[in-house]
Amino acid sequence: MAFNIKYMARVSSSGNTVALKVWSYNGLTVGGAADTVAEITASGYFNDFMQDMVDGVGPLAIGDTIIVSGSDGNGMYKVSDVTTNVEVVAFAAANAIDTANIVDGAVTADKLASDAVTTVKILDNNVTSAKIAKNVVQYATVAITAAQFNGMYATPKLLVAAGGANTLVVLKQMQLLMTYGSANYAAGGVVAIQYDSTANGAGVIASTTFSAATFQAAVSTGWNFNPGVVAETFSTCVNKGLYLSNITGAFTTGDSAMVAHIWYSVIATV
C-alpha cells in the first residue's frame, strides 16, 4: 500500500486506557524522524511508530484494528502478529449478521427508524397461503390427471390434507377446470368433494354436486363447487382431508387433464 495519509486511527482491543487515537499527517513522525508526506512504502511502518507516538497506550496488540484513509485508497485492517514486524490482515466479508446472531428481543422499537413501519413493502405475490394463519382463507391448486379422475371412484383424489387433531377443514369454494384432450369421459357418476378418502363417494359430502353427464362433453369446461349443506359429524370430518370422488361407478375413456383451484380454512373444533 502506498498513499499519502489523510488520517489514521488505532482501535485497541488490548485493554489499554486509551482505546482510540487519530493522527493527521501534519507533523507525523516515524521512529523519531519527520515524515513529511507519510507515505507507507515498506513493511514495519507501524512498529516503532505506535511505541513512540502514543503516550500511555503502548505498542499494537493482536486483535487491534488499524483504520487508514489516504489520498488514493482506504483500508481497515486487523493486527494478526506483533512478534517481529506488525502484520495485518484484511477484514473478510463473511459472518454477516443474520437471524441466528440477533439475541431474542434485542431489536426493539427504539432501534428502528421512526418511519420503519410505514416504509415496509411486501413484494407482489410474496404473501402465500403458507405465510398466513390457517383460519384465514387459504388457496391451493391441485393438478388432476385423466388417470386420477377415471380412478377416483376407487381412489378419491386428495385436494386438501387434514389439518391435525381437533381441526376441521372448511370448504369455501372450488373451481375445477378441464382442458379438453381428445377423448370424452364416459360412464361415471355424481361428482362431489368429500371428507376423507372413503371409496365410491361414500365420504361425508362437503360440496355441491355435478352429474356425470356434465363431464362427458367434448369441450374445455369449468365447474364451480360451493360448500355443501351437511352435518359435519366429528368422527367423520374432524382431522380429515378433502377429496374429490364420485358415486355409482368409475369414469372411463376420458383423457382430459384438470386443475382444481380450491379456497378453504382450517378451524379449531375445541
pLDDT tens digits, 195-211: 999 999 999 999 999 99
pLDDT at 248: 94
126: in domain: no
Kindly calculate the radius of gyration of the chain based on its CA atoms and give it in whole angstroms: 36
183 lies in the same domain as 254: yes
pLDDT-based confidence at residue 178 (cuts at 50, 70, 90) = very high
Q: In angstroms, rounded to a whole number, what is the distance separating the alpha carbons of residues 117 and 239? A: 38
- Same structural domain, 64 and 190: no
Tell me, yes or no, whether 67 and 142 share the same domain.
Answer: no
**96 within some domain:** no
Residues 149 and 62 placed together within one structural domain of the fold = no
How do residues 102-144 score in pLDDT, each as one tens digit? 888 777 777 777 766 657 667 777 778 778 887 889 999 999 9
Exposure string for 217-239, b = 16+ CB within 10 A, e = fewer: eeeeeebebeebeeebeeeebbb
Tell me if 95 is assigned to some domain. Answer: no
Question: Do 45 and 147 sit in the same domain of this protein?
Answer: no
User: 137-174 in b/e burial notation, b at 16+ Cβ within 10 A?
Assistant: ebebebebebebbbebbeebbebbebbeeebbbbbeeb
Q: Do 139 and 262 belong together in one domain?
A: yes
Q: Average pLDDT over the chain, rounded to whole?
A: 78
My answer on whether 83 and 176 are in the same domain is no
206-209 contacts: CB < 8 A, separation 24 or more?
Answer: 206/171, 206/230, 206/237, 206/242, 207/171, 207/174
- Taking the C-alpha atoms of residue 155 and residue 214, their distance in angstroms, rounded to an integer, is 21
Q: Does residue 36 fall inside a structural domain? A: yes
Same domain, 83 and 137: no
Do 20 and 137 belong to one domain? Answer: no
> Same domain for 138 and 233?
yes
CB 216 within 8 A of CB 186: yes
Residue 118 forms part of a structural domain? no
Q: Are residues 35 and 148 in the same domain?
A: no
Could you tell me if residue 108 is inside a domain? no
- 77 lies in some domain: yes
Domains held by the chain: number: 2
Last residue of one domain, picked from the residues 55, 71, 90: 90
Edge-first strand listing for the sheet containing 242-246: 157-160, 242-246, 191-195
Domain encompassing residue 161: 133-268
Look up the CATH number of the domain holding residue 204. Answer: 2.60.120
**Amino acid letter, residue 268:** A
Contact between 229 and 156 (Cβ < 8 Å): no
Cα 21 to Cα 50: distance, rounded to the nearest angstrom = 10
Let me know if residue 239 belongs to a domain: yes
Say if residue 139 is in the same domain as residue 85: no
* Least confident window among 29-33, 168-172, 191-195: 29-33
